[in-house]
Chains A and B, each alone.
Chain A
Amino acid sequence: MTFLNFLISGISLGSIYAIIALGYTMVYGIAKMLNFAHGDVIMVGAYICFYAVSRYSMPPLVGVLLAMLVCTVLGIVVERLAYKPLRAAPSLAVLITAIGVSYFLQNAALLLWSSNPKVFPNAFVLKSVDAEGNEVVKNGVELFAGQLKISYVTLATILICIIIMLALTWFTSKTKMGKAMRACSEDKGAAQLMGINVNATISMTFAIGSGLAAVAGVLLCSAYPTLVPTTGSMPGIKAFTAAVFGGIGSIPGALLGGLLLGVIEIFAKAYISTQLSDAIVFAVLIVVLLVKPAGLLGKQIREKV
């Protein structure tokens, strides 16, 4: 039963990595850039939701929508100001700019919202009244007579993660905009010749990626409820790792990579060593990449000579 509990913890952690990785992988697939500021957009989303819900007592759903709106706008603005002028520049220049944006967001958050940690409200609870009239707050389901506990946050995260993945898959394969995205990711020049507005498509990708980041931020902070200006950076790096693990650019790959990373991390802690768990996670990543150099589900691009 402890094994199952660990598995569930791993899936819970992994589904959060997965949802962040989805944003990474989308932007990478289309813009071919490692957007290191993604983790910080997550943090901004979480703060917006926190203030909406805790300070202005809005319903959680409104808070999430507001966070998505703000992050989408933020994504578009950042893209327009910092990344768009670099469209023709080497990809490393864009990488450094993204790091600059990441520093900027972290320090702006520090000035705006102070360094004091905030505790994120858990919206995923069921309130009921028991026989004696006391209010009972349930935050998860219990199976096997309480041996196995799954919190609602975990269930919600996994569910949302799958929904987003399906929606994104549908979006990229069925809608016109989505097809344009795929075309851009294959060959920008050819896409332009076919009458696709490449610039608009890339901006759109950033908007979607940042909107997803807001959702990820809310879920991350619902599961692990402390919020500080640097909240997004480490999960950001882990999610980046997860995206590469699954094959960067691949939407199902991000989901698989995220889940596996979470499960490996928890198992490494549980069965090997809490001290070396990070090292073990990265070692597994290295082994996987040696066996499958383009990640688990990544496309192996054959070199043309």
Chain B
Amino acid sequence: MKKKFLSLLLAMVMVLSLAACGGDTEETPAESGETPAEEGSEAPAEGTAFLLGGTGPLTGGAAIYGNAAYRGAQIAVDEINAMGGVQFDLRYEDDQHDAEKAVNAYNVLKDWGMQLSLGSVTSKPCEATAAETYADRIFALTPSASSTATTEGKDNMFQMCFMDPNQGSASATYISEKGLGTKVAIIWKNDDVYSKGIHDTFVAEAAELNLAIVSDTTFADGNDTDFSVQLADAQANDADLVFLPMYYQPASLILSQANSMGYNPKWFGVDGMDGILTMEGFDPALAEGVMLLTPFNADATDDKTVAFVTEYQDRYGETPNQFAADAYDCVYAYKQALEAAGATPDMTAEELCDLMIQQFTSMTFDGLTGEGMTWDATGAVSKSPKGMVIENGAYVGLD
């Protein structure tokens, strides 16, 4: 009967995969740490580099965020390695924006011998890997996982991006102080931690500031194409400002549908909105006048940003978004901290963890996404979001 045969075949597959998995332990770190050919960089010799690992969605629906972070970090690593001094060996593993796969990916990195972690790119997976890095005493600095639960109760988990609640309250304060709108509508993504986190604090803060929220509607993964109802609700309630705490992909759909409805309120976005102008084929006229709080601006003219953006475009043919910039900053922050602590690559992850906690809570860091950044003991970064407005297809500072 074919059942037996099937079982046999499957058993063989399993033995093979087990063998492949088991093989990882025997490999020396430097061997398995080969960077993909695409990057065109040479890994430093064994034992001279810090093994830096991270997980992020490199495939699946959220792949854009993971790939951006990976590429940003890779550029930073290559630059730093070329300078001499502190050397890094970077490895990113795919977690498909899923907590289970993130833990699997984290374990692969642990087998590799990871000494310093870049956490995970997205919030929920990062909450899962943060519990692991906490238990294993590996220091982690996430470029972009912004939920409160990521760092909560973990002394060795730090963030490069601002936390969701900060963005929510900062947005509300900003709108209220500048008198941008009196009647606010919110459209948010109901099955997304990021969107939900910002929405909740925005609503709470708005209540204190007497900012009227006239329309509060949601969407979710399965129905993120048609926004006519949400927009009609905002329009019917005379909202003069629509707050969009979400990533730029649904936001671009909302802008284009509002445009075809002839609805032109003020739009206000958060850092996830950054990237909207870099979408291939996007008509910048749709985003004219959109305001957003973002730590990074790919059009900025300072040397650091220009160098980074040029390098990114040369390598990948795309404009970097804030995920890439945050990951780039993470690697440089590590460099600064490692140098200040006099850490060497032969230290164990646990030793490095203690040194890094000491450094990060005391140092000041200047990066692409902010000047004079500091971290408190909870792992949250203090940097102030910059208000930007899109004019003629480019960001212009609001202040």
Query: B318: nearest residue on chain A (CB-CB)?
Result: A116
Let me know if B279 and A117 touch, CB within 8 A. yes
Let me know if B318 and A9 touch, CB within 8 A. no
Query: B248: nearest residue on chain A (CB-CB)?
Result: A117
Given contact pairs A110-B59, A140-B260, A225-B256, A278 touches B229 in the complex (Cβ within 8 A)? no
> What would be 9 A-B contacts, judged by CB atoms less than 8 Å apart?
A9-B228, A116-B64, A119-B283, A149-B262, A224-B226, A266-B226, A266-B228, A274-B229, A278-B223
B365: chain A residues within 8 A (beta carbon): none
Which positions in A face B, CB cutoff 8 Å? 2, 5-6, 9, 12-13, 50, 54, 107, 110, 114-121, 139-140, 146, 149, 151, 223-226, 228-230, 234-235, 237-238, 265-266, 269-270, 274-275, 277-278
Let me know if B229 and A9 touch, CB within 8 A. yes
A2 to B236, CA, bound (A): 9
B374 CB, nearest partner CB in chain A, Å: 33
Let me know if A9 and B64 touch, CB within 8 A. no
Let me know if A146 and B262 touch, CB within 8 A. yes
B286 CB, nearest partner CB in chain A, Å: 9
Given contact pairs A115-B63, A115-B64, A226-B253, A234 touches B282 in the complex (Cβ within 8 A)? no
B242 CB, nearest partner CB in chain A, Å: 14
Let me know if B229 and A275 touch, CB within 8 A. no
Let me know if B59 and A226 touch, CB within 8 A. no
Let me know if B280 and A265 touch, CB within 8 A. no
Query: A5: nearest residue on chain B (CB-CB)?
Result: B232
A280 to B310, CA, bound (A): 48
B237 CB, nearest partner CB in chain A, Å: 12
Let me know if B280 and A6 touch, CB within 8 A. no
Let me know if A118 and B249 touch, CB within 8 A. no
Let me know if B61 and A275 touch, CB within 8 A. no
Q: Does B84 contact A (CB under 8 A)?
A: no
Let me know if A119 and B225 touch, CB within 8 A. no
B214 CB, nearest partner CB in chain A, Å: 15
A147 to B222, CA, bound (A): 29
A140: chain B residues within 8 A (beta carbon): 260
Partner of B249 from the list A5, A110, A117, A270 (CB cut-off 8 Å) is: A117
B289 CB, nearest partner CB in chain A, Å: 18
Query: B57: nearest residue on chain A (CB-CB)?
Result: A115
A234 to B61, CA, bound (A): 11
Let me know if B318 and A13 touch, CB within 8 A. no
Which positions in B face A, CB cutoff 8 Å? 59-61, 63-64, 67, 190, 217-226, 228-230, 232-233, 236, 248-250, 252-253, 256, 260-262, 278-283, 318
A229: chain B residues within 8 A (beta carbon): 63
Let me know if B219 and A274 touch, CB within 8 A. yes
Let me know if B63 and A121 touch, CB within 8 A. no
Query: A235: nearest residue on chain B (CB-CB)?
Result: B225
A73 to B281, CA, bound (A): 27
Let me know if B228 and A277 touch, CB within 8 A. no
B190: chain A residues within 8 A (beta carbon): 274-275
Let me know if A226 and B220 touch, CB within 8 A. no
Let me know if A116 and B217 touch, CB within 8 A. no
Let me know if B252 and A6 touch, CB within 8 A. no
A107 to B63, CA, bound (A): 11
Let me know if B279 and A277 touch, CB within 8 A. no
A107 to B355, CA, bound (A): 41
A270 to B217, CA, bound (A): 10
Let me know if A275 and B280 touch, CB within 8 A. no
A270 to B231, CA, bound (A): 10
Let me know if B221 and A234 touch, CB within 8 A. yes
Partner of B229 from the list A146, A226, A228, A269 (CB cut-off 8 Å) is: A269
A53 CB, nearest partner CB in chain B, Å: 9
Let me know if B226 and A119 touch, CB within 8 A. no
